[in-house]
Structure 1
Amino acid sequence: MTINASSQEKLLIIGCGDIGQRLALQLASHHYRITGLRRHPPEDLPYLQYRVCDATQTGQLDALLGSEAFDVIVISMTPAERSDAGYEQAYVQTCRNLVAGLKRHQQQPRLVLFVSSTAVYGQNDGSWVDESSPTQPESFSGNRLLEAEQVIQANGFAHSCIRFSGIYGPGRNRLIEQVKQQRASASPHYTNRIHADDCAGVLAHLIELQHKQDLAPVYLATDSSPTPMVEVVNWIAEQLGIRDFLASDAVNERGNKRISNQRLLATGYSFRYPDFRAGYASLINLQA
């Protein structure tokens, strides 16, 4: 079906890195004209036009919003450094700049999606966590992400915050490399994961779904199989044919909780990789 240019919606992806590119690709056949913002963008893709913009700088984002209005805005930032200041700038300041620019130019997008993280939860007792669970982060990253969420939530735009669990996929092969380097952890703590393709799939699904119904203010996005870390790395090692892969001094991941994706599943989303086995099998096959 050919979409008339006048019927296209304008989609803005602020911080358009790997997840943003995957999202643009998944929406390429839909009725969107997609703009991605990066400080140092690559060449344009057939389905994605880049603009040079540092969204953490008020003037740059304001100038863009003053020149063009967008129907859907996705905020998917990556901090310049893993520090409290880096997270404050990437997430909190970007959200403040966006809200200020939208108000200044009297724009009302139909949807604002903020890519957040399950780091906003501090539970570490192996319990189940859902959207109603208390958010008491123990890390600066969780605190800053929660602060950024609150900036979006407090300003009257139709919105949803998507809290992703640990993202893996092409270019995110840390566990596979740890197994190969015999540096994997024997931690019994639960780990929660989502493939990068499903990250993009969830965002695309919710963008389309909002045409039909209001979205919840928060969704937890994770696959359907919270699993102890030692089981995950043991399975990876079996697939690679590696016998000795654990390190007694390996650093365990923070937290120990099981993330529920029931609210997301209730919207009709179907995972491409419903558990770590399906996702990591695809990565291992890519490397074979």
Structure 2
Amino acid sequence: MTSRLIIGCGYLGRRIAAHWYESSREVFALTRSTETATQFSKHGWNPIIGDITKPESVAPLPEVDTVLLSVGFDRHAGYDIHTAFVDGIQNTIAKLPSNISRLIYISSTGVYSQSNGEWVDEESTCEPQRPGGVACLEAERFLQQSRFSDRLVILRLAGIYGPERIPRMASIQKGEPISSPRHGYINLIHVDDAVQAVAAAGQYKKTPATFVIGDDEPVIRSDYFGFVAKKLNAPSVSFSEPEADSHVVSRAMADKRIRNSRMRMELGIDLKYPTYREGITAILESH
């Protein structure tokens, strides 16, 4: 049985753990919580308790074939995003056995800051402006210089949506104004298709490699919110200007369109949800 270790077993990581376990892989998953560790055990996964921002709390990590770094940022954890994304990754790499065959890092399309609706791909310039994008790019560069650089696959994911995770759904249902610019593109990927991408990255032979992971159709914000409202039979969406120093404004300044050609051709991904329309419809119909 081949084995997998997941560092960061949250919304995406849990689904990948389930996919690998169902594919007869032995799965190890790191968590800070004893309660979550109990849940992992019930699923048949091997929990490891520790906090990657506190390396002394993490026991020696197991020898596995593949490691997935899918670290999220918990705003309630008491540390900043750089500590989680950069220091945490560095601490993890120091703990890993040397004989793993594949290292997959979940990065973000936030490493791009293009702001005029340009198409971007793996070769586009990365000049992130927001803290999350800056931290992701710094983590990428650290991994590219690490002892695992020759077996590294970086996946720059667009915004993940899926069951219980439809952006702004609660506000739309209530008819509340959306505090966001109405214009500009957003890039999305359904969580099931993100799982596909990770699984394919685990089998990809031409490492090191970097892929942007998004669906086939970047969408203007107002079109996306309008579609969700229609599907919910909610009132027409209205917009309000966010505060000038709001994170919404800084996020909206990056107006780009993700080109997923390399993902499709080299990873061989056949998207289950090619656009937000299929994905949102399936989620809402299942409820």
- TM-score tier by shorter-chain length is 0.7 to 0.9
Within 5 Å, give how 1:119-130 maps onto structure 2. 119-130=110-121
Asked whether 1:14 is paired with 2:14, we answer no
Within 5 Å, give how 1:40-189 maps onto structure 2. 40=33, 41=36, 42-43=38-39, 44-61=41-58, 63-65=59-61, 68-81=62-75, 86-102=80-96, 105=97, 107-157=98-148, 158-182=151-175, 183-184=177-178, 185=180, 187-189=182-184
Q: Which residue of 1 aligns with 2:30?
A: 37
SS at match of 1:238: helix
Deviations 1:158-216 (A, max 9, x none): 11111111111122123322322332356120110011122222101211x23xx2245
Asked whether 1:196 is paired with 2:195, we answer no
Match of 1:221 among 207, 213, 217: 213
Partners of 2:260 and 2:207 in 1: CA distance: 15
- Runs (4 or more) in structure 1 with deviation over 3 Å come to 82-85, 250-253
Partners of 1:25 and 1:126 in 2: CA distance: 36
Q: 1:84 to 1:132 in 2, by over 3 A?
A: farther
Partners of 1:69 and 1:216 in 2: CA distance: 21
Q: 1:17 to 1:83 in 2, by over 3 A?
A: closer
Asked whether 1:272 is paired with 2:272, we answer yes
Q: Which residue of 1 aligns with 2:230?
A: 238
**Counterpart residue identity of residue 233, structure 1:** F
Native 8 Å contact 2:174 2:234 kept in 1: no
Q: Which residue of 1 aligns with 2:256?
A: 257
Q: Which residue of 1 aligns with 2:245?
A: none
**Percent of aligned pairs with the same amino acid:** 27
Of 48-57 and 140-149, more deviation after overlay is shown by: 48-57
Partners of 1:50 and 1:76 in 2: CA distance: 15
Partners of 1:132 and 1:57 in 2: CA distance: 35
Deviations 1:218-249 (A, max 9, x none): 11011111011111111112222233321233
SS at match of 1:28: helix
Deviations 1:125-156 (A, max 9, x none): 10000000010001111111111111111113
Partners of 2:113 and 2:181 in 1: CA distance: 21
Partners of 1:130 and 1:96 in 2: CA distance: 26
Native 8 Å contact 1:117 1:162 kept in 2: yes
Native 8 Å contact 2:211 2:263 kept in 1: yes
Q: Which residue of 2 aligns with 1:3?
A: none
How many residue pairs match? The answer is: 271
Native 8 Å contact 2:82 2:131 kept in 1: no
Structure 1 unaligned segments of length 5 or more: list them. Answer: 1-7
**Counterpart residue identity of residue 214, structure 2:** T
Native 8 Å contact 2:161 2:191 kept in 1: yes
Q: TM-score, structure 1 length as denominator? A: 0.87
Q: How far is the alpha carbon of 1:83 from its aligned partner?
A: 11
Q: Which residue of 2 aligns with 1:4?
A: none
Q: How far is the alpha carbon of 1:82 from its aligned partner?
A: 8.3
Q: 1:279 to 1:215 in 2, by over 3 A?
A: farther
Within 5 Å, give how 1:204-215 maps onto structure 2. 204-207=199-202, 209-210=203-204, 213-215=205-207
**Counterpart residue identity of residue 256, structure 2:** K
Match of 1:248 among 237, 240, 246: 240
**Counterpart residue identity of residue 137, structure 2:** L
RMSD: 2.1
Q: TM-score, structure 2 length as denominator? A: 0.87
SS at match of 1:27: helix
**Counterpart residue identity of residue 279, structure 1:** G
**Counterpart residue identity of residue 107, structure 2:** S
Native 8 Å contact 1:181 1:245 kept in 2: no
Partners of 1:120 and 1:161 in 2: CA distance: 12
**Counterpart residue identity of residue 28, structure 1:** Y
